[in-house]
Structure 1
Amino acid sequence: MDPSTLRLGVFLLLTSAFLAWKLRRVGRRPSGMPPGPPTLPILGNLHQMPTKRPHLQFQKWAEEYGPVYSLMLGTKPTIILSSDVAIKDLLDKRGGIYSDRPDMFISQRVASGGHRLVVMRYGETWRLIHKLVHNILNINVAEKYVPYQDLENKFLLQGLLDHPDDLFNQIRRFSYSVSTQLIFGFRCPSFDDPMLERLFYTVEEWGRVSASGLAQVADLYPIIQKLPSFLAPGAVKDAEHVHKVGRELYTGHWLNAKQKLEDGTGLPCICNDLLLAQQSEQLSDEAVGYIVGSLLEGGSDTTSSTLYGFIQAMMVWPEVQKRAQEEIERVVGSNRLPVIDDYQNLPYIRCCVKETLRWMPTVIMGVPHAVVKDDSYNGWFIPKGATVINNVWTIHMDPNRSPEPRRFNPDRYADDQTTLYQSANGEPMKRDNFNFGAGRRLCQGIHIAERSLFLGMSRILWGFNLNTPLDDNGNPVTPDVDNLVGGITVHPAPFQIKIEPRSPKRAQIIRGAVEDCKDLLDAGSGQWKKVPDGMVFGSWKPDAQTMK
């Protein structure tokens, strides 16, 4: 054989062997990382990722590999935090390096135009928006929005009287209308409103495309991101459509509110502050649209899903419902609705709020964080760029934290006097829930959410009995409490329920409360006639001179 041919053959053999050796190492867990399931070359653990009920698989891995374990998704290291202490140590105490988000091609860049706040990368833009949102959602400001929550809750109760079979839609209208008032200053009187339908379409479709297999693969193998549009998979086109619908919806809401504020016809709302911030910070209308859109998504979706879960729990555990109603009867009586001032005097209802958030976590596996530099924890190596997952379901279902975790038991919090915000910032092993995130990414709407949930739960139980329906043979139709639907956020699958007013007197009180509210509203549009008393911006609205 020709020596040159022989040398070429040896070179190709050695090169092939080297490439094969390198490929075998691709997808392998780097030395020193937390333990986890065995990996395969190239794929890592990607082949083991479930397409349905992923929270259950993540829970099994935590039981096998410990409260802090790792996965290799292709070449991407992913750290799973299934421990309350680890979340406190890393996401809270080391928030300076754990507050980033992974680069989510489908979820953020394609489906959100780079603007959706919940998955925005940590940086100057995010810090600016975070500061703005903090100033308009802090606890002192949140108290001023109670008139909006109070009014919408009364209309929810009337909706349950008139249309008990439309439970889910009634709850969605309530949470959406509270959010539109807080953010834009207008109400949503009917759950048939096309804007409401478009909002929940956007939320659900964004969650679906974000949790899709393509979204994961595109983040792990960036070459997919460079495919020309005619070769792009269908999920990319779906994500583009989500962005188109969301951008038009949110920017449209913003521009309408902006116009009303500028001409002096707008009502108190978050857009007041954002209008001034837009000028000082040179934010585009699309960027501000997605700020208010992100707030609208968070306020509408998670609150309605949590209330829906609560009502299911009351039906499945009637003894809890009875005890809660007995407390309301002692404190409130039968002659009036509960009000926000009853909060301190209804400890069992406050426990129901906490237990619902634990038992039916809506953000079931959190929103991923990312670490911005190499770090170590308990002797483990956490590499720069690693995705860090707040494993909410597994923490909430830890029997050491919550014995019999799938039983709805508000007594778990009998000695807990904290608000949701205080608990989130307190001792990790006593934290009531992890739905609202952690560290610098903690949801800033937590104060408003707690008030909406308290009013919703206390008033629904004051006015109604929530019973299990019977089938044609007289057998109870009990829902599967573990049947959850959704993507990034989840809620119970639709279930049957029998909702009845507790007495004609209570039904009359509800209708009377709604009639009193109607005096504040325009008969034609259902919108507020004037600024509600005590509203945070009641003494100031922008005018043409202010905006110059």
Structure 2
Amino acid sequence: MDDLTLLTVFALGSCAVILLAQRLTTIQKAKRLPLPPGPKTTWLGGSQLPQTYHWLTYARWKDTFGDIIYIYAFGNPIIVLNTAEAANQLLDKRGDIYSSRPLRTMVGELMGWDWLFSGMPYGPWWRRHRTIFQKYFHINMSSDYHPGQILETHTMLRNLLVSPNNFNHHIRRTAAAIVLKIAYGHIVADEGDSYVALAEAAMRTSAHAGFFGTYLVDYIPILKYVPSWMPGASFKRKAREWRRLSREMLESQFEIVKQKMAKGTAVSCVATKELENWIDSDGDADQEELIKNISAIIYGGASAFITDAGSLLTFKFIAGADTTVSAIGSFFLAMVLYPDVQRKARDELDRVLGDNRLPSFADKSSLPYISCIVWECLRWNPVAPMGLAHYVTEDDEYNGYRIPKGSTVLPNIWAILHDEHTYPNPLEFHPERFEDQEKNRLAGVNEYPSAFGFGRRICPGRWLAYDSIWIVVASVLSVYKITAATDYKGTLILPSPEYTPGLISHPKPFKCRIFPRSEAAAALIRQTEA
């Protein structure tokens, strides 16, 4: 071994020793520090946890307890991060110990959602999932999906022309159609698609059970052994019923793809490409399971997301269907409540497109205000207000406080994106806040990390999600006008900007009027059918 090699080995070894010593010093120091402030725990061990709209309660608690809050519930230490600074310092810069996920007994074990890699602990099995997923959804692959996104958006434009009052259904169909074609080559029916109905039913159960602490078994895992017939064990009966949905969602389309491949009728998609690679390489059963998981995740939670992103459960649907639906729903609601924003967007579209064509992704750089609207939709009411839960694997210290090993760490994305110092008048829908990109960069405003998660668990499907929302916003505003509905007297009915509780937050149902801007716009819509 030459002198240069010896010197290199010695230098690397010295660095490793120094880093280890620093880490041990941090751990020892942390054990002597106080815990972050937080609400007192009663003798029952958990009555202080909010029951609904957790993000709003935690945001209010910030005024009392500060940027980070400590909660101890039934033996579970929980750390809530209410600021971007805290989230970035811990989840981004210390990703080596903050990138795992806590185990969630109800959703993962009992309900059968253990196949979602967004909820998997940090380790080799998770890395194998993410490696395959990123192969199809990194930023350089985005343009491959543009034709399909435009095709399904044009279908949405035609559907709105026929039944504008059914806009929520059209939003859902569009989001599902994009990701199901990518995952399975599945063409979504205009009405009554059986797989979409199955997946939505399955995801509704996960959204209900998804918040940590909804069921006592999350705090006390040994309760999973309680017989389902016992009083108080209704969670076991629900889990058994809900498990059937999650497993069917995982298995059904995958089996159809395999059958079509055997007949030679399969459409090229992620599932077929990976199965062909697996067959050619004589892969093991684990690899087939991984491919099955990835295919289902693209629909159920491509960011899983929703995304990896950071929350109270094990997954989120960023870049999957459900979160895209939420963001586009926010867009329609905002256009009703803020007509000046809609007017400014239409003026920009008219300058770039004229009145003889629909937008394409090639127009994105010429339509900066449309991009600002998309960012504001993601900020105004985040799709997953509490993101996904992180899990700290070693004792740590932050700002003089101890972060105990084994803590569930929750970034309050809603509070971060409603910080009035960074986003003045945060409850208002104001896309202009994103117009000065240099000023925003200096102020620490960065729309992607907070909306799509943090660190190594940031949503890997964020580029697909963003593009799907962008082309819908640009296309709808280029040909449609969205206004408040009216009652029988012609009085405007302004909806309230109210959102549902739960892991994925949607606008509560509201009515609006959607109609073509002109005869020329209606003609453009009809031309897309050719």
Instruction: Tell me the distance in 1 between the aligned counterparts of 2:32 and 2:47.
Output: 18
Q: Describe the shift of the 1:354–1:497 C-alpha distance in structure 2 as closer, same or farther (beyond 3 A).
A: same
Instruction: Tell me the distance in 1 between the aligned counterparts of 2:442 and 2:49.
Output: 32
1:116 Cα deviation after fit? 1.9
Is 1:86 aligned to 2:86, yes or no?
yes
Is 1:101 aligned to 2:117, yes or no?
no
TM-score, normalization by structure 2:
0.86
Is 1:441 aligned to 2:457, yes or no?
yes
1:474 Cα deviation after fit? 3.0
Which aligned pairs between 1:20-39 and structure 2 lie closer than 5 A?
32-39=34-41
CA contact (8 A) 1:253 1:289 kept: no
Match in the other structure for 1:40: 42
TM-score, normalization by structure 1:
0.83
CA contact (8 A) 1:254 1:285 kept: no
Is 1:341 aligned to 2:354, yes or no?
no
The worse-fitting range, judged by mean Cα deviation, of 243-252 and 364-373 is 243-252
Instruction: Tell me the distance in 2 between the aligned counterparts of 1:417 and 1:310.
Output: 25
1:211 Cα deviation after fit? 2.9
Q: Describe the shift of the 1:240–1:49 C-alpha distance in structure 2 as closer, same or farther (beyond 3 A).
A: same
SS at match of 2:70: strand
Match in the other structure for 1:405: 426
Q: Which amino acid aligns with 1:223?
A: I
Instruction: Tell me the distance in 2 between the aligned counterparts of 1:52 and 1:118.
Output: 23
1:431 Cα deviation after fit? 1.4
Q: Which amino acid aligns with 2:507?
A: P
1:508 Cα deviation after fit? 1.3
Which aligned pairs between 1:345-364 and structure 2 lie closer than 5 A?
345-364=366-385
Which aligned pairs between 1:201-280 and structure 2 lie closer than 5 A?
201-211=201-211, 213-215=213-215, 217-231=216-230, 233-275=233-275, 276-277=277-278, 280=283
Q: Describe the shift of the 1:84–1:337 C-alpha distance in structure 2 as closer, same or farther (beyond 3 A).
A: same
Match in the other structure for 1:533: none
Match in the other structure for 1:529: none
CA contact (8 A) 1:183 1:292 kept: yes
Instruction: Tell me the distance in 2 between the aligned counterparts of 1:380 and 1:268.
Output: 52
Match in the other structure for 1:372: 393
Instruction: Tell me the distance in 2 between the aligned counterparts of 1:239 and 1:291.
Output: 23
Instruction: Tell me the distance in 2 between the aligned counterparts of 1:94 and 1:412.
Output: 30
> Residue by residue, what CA displacement relative to the aligned partner does 1:26-72 show, whole Å, maximum 9, x if unpaired?
xxx996111112222341xx212222222211110112211112111
Tell me which of 293, 296, 301 is aligned to 1:290.
293
Instruction: Tell me the distance in 2 between the aligned counterparts of 1:230 and 1:224.
Output: 13
Instruction: Tell me the distance in 1 between the aligned counterparts of 2:331 and 2:63.
Output: 28
SS at match of 1:488: coil
Match in the other structure for 2:484: 468
Q: Which amino acid aligns with 2:146?
A: V
The worse-fitting range, judged by mean Cα deviation, of 427-436 and 377-386 is 427-436
Match in the other structure for 1:306: 327
Which aligned pairs between 1:450-489 and structure 2 lie closer than 5 A?
450-481=466-497, 483-489=498-504
Match in the other structure for 1:67: 67
Instruction: Tell me the distance in 1 between the aligned counterparts of 2:210 and 2:133.
Output: 24
Instruction: Tell me the distance in 1 between the aligned counterparts of 2:182 and 2:80.
Output: 35
1:258 Cα deviation after fit? 3.0
Q: Describe the shift of the 1:95–1:272 C-alpha distance in structure 2 as closer, same or farther (beyond 3 A).
A: farther
Instruction: Tell me the distance in 2 between the aligned counterparts of 1:68 and 1:394.
Output: 12
Q: Which amino acid aligns with 2:293?
A: Y
Match in the other structure for 2:506: 491
Structure 1: gaps spanning 5 or more residues: 1-28, 516-548
Match in the other structure for 1:522: none
1:194 Cα deviation after fit? 2.1
Instruction: Tell me the distance in 2 between the aligned counterparts of 1:208 and 1:428.
Output: 36
The worse-fitting range, judged by mean Cα deviation, of 226-235 and 339-348 is 226-235
CA contact (8 A) 1:169 1:191 kept: no
SS at match of 1:230: coil
Instruction: Tell me the distance in 2 between the aligned counterparts of 1:488 and 1:339.
Output: 32
CA contact (8 A) 2:479 2:517 kept: yes
**Root-mean-square deviation (Å):** 2.2
Instruction: Tell me the distance in 2 between the aligned counterparts of 1:170 and 1:245.
Output: 23
CA contact (8 A) 2:422 2:443 kept: no
CA contact (8 A) 1:204 1:486 kept: no
Instruction: Tell me the distance in 1 between the aligned counterparts of 2:373 and 2:328.
Output: 11
Match in the other structure for 1:381: 402
Which aligned pairs between 1:513-532 and structure 2 lie closer than 5 A?
513-515=528-530
Match in the other structure for 1:332: 353
Instruction: Tell me the distance in 1 between the aligned counterparts of 2:142 and 2:263.
Output: 26
1:350 Cα deviation after fit? 0.4
Q: Describe the shift of the 1:113–1:446 C-alpha distance in structure 2 as closer, same or farther (beyond 3 A).
A: closer
Match in the other structure for 2:144: 144
Instruction: Tell me the distance in 1 between the aligned counterparts of 2:49 and 2:115.
Output: 28
Count of aligned residue pairs for this structure pair: 477
Q: Which amino acid aligns with 1:295?
A: I
Match in the other structure for 1:508: 523
SS at match of 2:486: coil
Instruction: Tell me the distance in 2 between the aligned counterparts of 1:370 and 1:281.
Output: 31
> Residue by residue, what CA displacement relative to the aligned partner does 1:303-343 show, whole Å, maximum 9, x if unpaired?
11100111100110000000000000001111000001000
Instruction: Tell me the distance in 2 between the aligned counterparts of 1:380 and 1:157.
Output: 53
Instruction: Tell me the distance in 2 between the aligned counterparts of 1:355 and 1:468.
Output: 20
- Report which of the two structures shows the higher radius of gyration computed on alpha carbons: 1
SS at match of 2:72: strand
1:74 Cα deviation after fit? 2.1
SS at match of 2:410: strand
> Residue by residue, what CA displacement relative to the aligned partner does 1:91-116 show, whole Å, maximum 9, x if unpaired?
11211111111110011111125222
Q: Describe the shift of the 1:125–1:413 C-alpha distance in structure 2 as closer, same or farther (beyond 3 A).
A: same
Q: Which amino acid aligns with 1:40?
A: T
> Residue by residue, what CA displacement relative to the aligned partner does 1:369-401 show, whole Å, maximum 9, x if unpaired?
101111111221111110000101111111111
SS at match of 2:506: strand
CA contact (8 A) 1:175 1:303 kept: yes
Q: Describe the shift of the 1:113–1:319 C-alpha distance in structure 2 as closer, same or farther (beyond 3 A).
A: closer
1:186 Cα deviation after fit? 2.0
Q: Which runs of 4+ in 1 moved over 6 A?
A: none
